[in-house]
Amino acid sequence: MKRFKKIAVMVLAAGLSMPAFADGKGKAAQWAYEGAYGPERWAALSPENAKCSQGTRQSPVNIMDREVIVSELESIQFHYQPSAYRFEHNGHTLQVTPAGENYVVIRGMRYELIQFHFHAPSEERINFRNFSMVAHFVHKNAEGRLAVIGVLLDAGGANPAMDHLWAHLPLSKGDTVEPKTALVDLMQLLPKERAYFQFIGSLTTPPCSEGVLWTLFQEPVKIRPEQASVFLKVVGMNARPVQPLNQRVVRYSR
């Protein structure tokens, strides 16, 4: 439990999503994916959300093969382990907070895994195609910088980690599930082929903070078709529209 409390503090410090989305005055900041509180209105809902409309390096994006720069970047080193976890429905997504030591090394820098969560359909697109879902693994380094790794999830197969999580699904807003003995194997959520796109972007939810190092794997992970359908019933559509690249460089590494 102490581990989960420590992670909660880290997430708040990073300006990331928690079950209660709070503004600077401690009040719940109301936002949504459709209607009067939808993405077009996020910036108007709070001064802290100004980047949602004024930012120039916003996420998600559509990645075109013809526009990327092919580079020989080093492989991302994953140090994930089977972990106990908290699985919660925070009103905007289903979020998993793993316990234990889980981290990645990107460009020689260590980033600790804070949490991962899901969007349906996928927020990121490749050549204008989106996928059934996407998992966003949110990391933070010792300097407070964020790195998000996106794993596209495509209907047409089965994934043991997704099967495990969906068997412990929190079904209503505010629900939290903490299996006492079950562990989730995070490595099972990663694609076998690790070619990736990399660029600088932002959080895809308010306050849309920029300066986030984004990595998106090209190869999707196959999941059961009904898992995306169940997510949409439990949470609803939660994908922010793609944002302009604005001359940003997107590197591609095999």
Question: What local confidence, expressed as pLDDT, does residue 88 receive?
Answer: 98
Q: Is the peptide bond before 60 cis (omega within 30 degrees of 0)?
A: yes
Enclosing domain of residue 205: 58-240+248-253
Tell me the CA distances in angstroms from 116 to 93, 104, 147, 156, 230, one per residue in order.
10, 13, 12, 22, 18
The mean pLDDT value of the chain amounts to: 90
pLDDT for residue 58 is more than 80: yes
Q: Tell whether 9 is covered by a domain.
A: no
Percent with pLDDT over 70 in the chain: 89
Q: Tell whether 5 is covered by a domain.
A: no
Q: Tell whether 42 is covered by a domain.
A: no
Grouping H, G, I as helix, E, B as strand and the rest as coil, residue 61 is coil
Average pLDDT over residues 3-12: 42
Q: What is the total count of domains within the chain?
A: 1
Q: Tell whether 202 is covered by a domain.
A: yes
What are the tens digits of pLDDT across the range 195-240? 999 999 999 999 999 999 999 999 999 999 999 999 999 999 999 9
Which residue is associated with the tokens 């260590």?
110
pLDDT band at 29 (very low <50, low <70, confident <90, very high): low
Q: Tell whether 138 is covered by a domain.
A: yes
Question: What local confidence, expressed as pLDDT, does residue 254 receive?
Answer: 85
pLDDT for residue 15 is more than 90: no
pTM of the model as a whole: 0.89
**Whole-angstrom distance, CA of residue 129 vs CA of residue 113:** 28
Q: Tell whether 40 is covered by a domain.
A: no
Q: Tell whether 140 is covered by a domain.
A: yes
The bridge status of strand 146-155 relative to strand 210-217 is parallel
Q: Tell whether 45 is covered by a domain.
A: no
CATH of the domain at 198: 3.10.200.10
The two tokens of residue 211 are: 């300066």
User: Which burial class, exposed, middle or buried, applies to 66 when counting CB atoms under 10 A from its CB (0-12, 13-18, 19+)?
Assistant: exposed
